[in-house]
Amino acid sequence: MESTITNEVFLQKLTDKFGDAIISSVEDYGMLTVTADSSKNIDILNYLFDEPSLQVQFMTDLTGVHYPEQELAFCVVYHLHSLVNNYRVRFKFFIGGEIPTIASATSVYATANWMERETYDFFGIIFEGHPDLRRILNVDEMVAFPLRKEFPLEDPNRIDKKDYYFGR
């Protein structure tokens, strides 16, 4: 089934409603990616959810990205889906600071609960208003956030790759 909303119409409705909060947009492989002001994330999600002509009521994915060279070093990505309109869209919200913080999407999508815990677990992004923000996949004792770029990929306890085993 074809989508009943086009990217142009979707973007127009979004800019009409939020104006300056929409920073940029790009269309990759036919899918719209909108970058917007991170302080407006819940307003945008609520609008997309409640607007009768859109009904974007399914969250496919929520994750984070780390760009250490940027001032706003963390990105929170939402993949959203309107089942009624067969329309998919991607949202990016960039955040920065020592403790990157963004409002929790759990008030809109219950499914965001575990995905935000995962994003916190791996990137240390704080989701304000999350009912139970603690680690979900890594061991509870872990102090680092392993998917941040400064985190060393290899485990320090590894011994069989030491140089002296290879005569170096």
Give me the residues that bind other proteins (CB under 8 A), please.
137-139, 142, 144, 146, 151, 153-155, 157-161
Q: Give the DSSP H or E segment for 74.
A: strand 74-82
SS3 167: coil
Nearer CB in complex with other proteins: 83/137: 137
Nearer CB in complex with other proteins: 24/168: 168
* Cα–Cα distance measured from residue 80 to residue 78, given in angstroms and rounded to the nearest whole number: 6
Please classify residue 153 by burial: count the beta carbons closer than 10 Å to its beta carbon, then call 0-12 exposed, 13-18 middle and 19+ buried: exposed
Q: Residue 151 Cβ, how far from other proteins at the closest point, in Å?
A: 7
Nearer CB in complex with other proteins: 1/159: 159
Strands 74-82 and 87-95 come out as antiparallel
Find out whether 144 and 121 touch, Cβ atoms under 8 Å: no
* Cα–Cα distance measured from residue 42 to residue 108, given in angstroms and rounded to the nearest whole number: 8
Q: Residue 138 Cβ, how far from other proteins at the closest point, in Å?
A: 7
Nearer CB in complex with other proteins: 124/146: 146
* Cα–Cα distance measured from residue 19 to residue 103, given in angstroms and rounded to the nearest whole number: 20
Q: Residue 157 Cβ, how far from other proteins at the closest point, in Å?
A: 4
Nearer CB in complex with other proteins: 158/168: 158
Q: Residue 10 Cβ, how far from other proteins at the closest point, in Å?
A: 38
Cβ neighbours of 128 (radius 10 Å):
10
Q: Residue 139 Cβ, how far from other proteins at the closest point, in Å?
A: 5
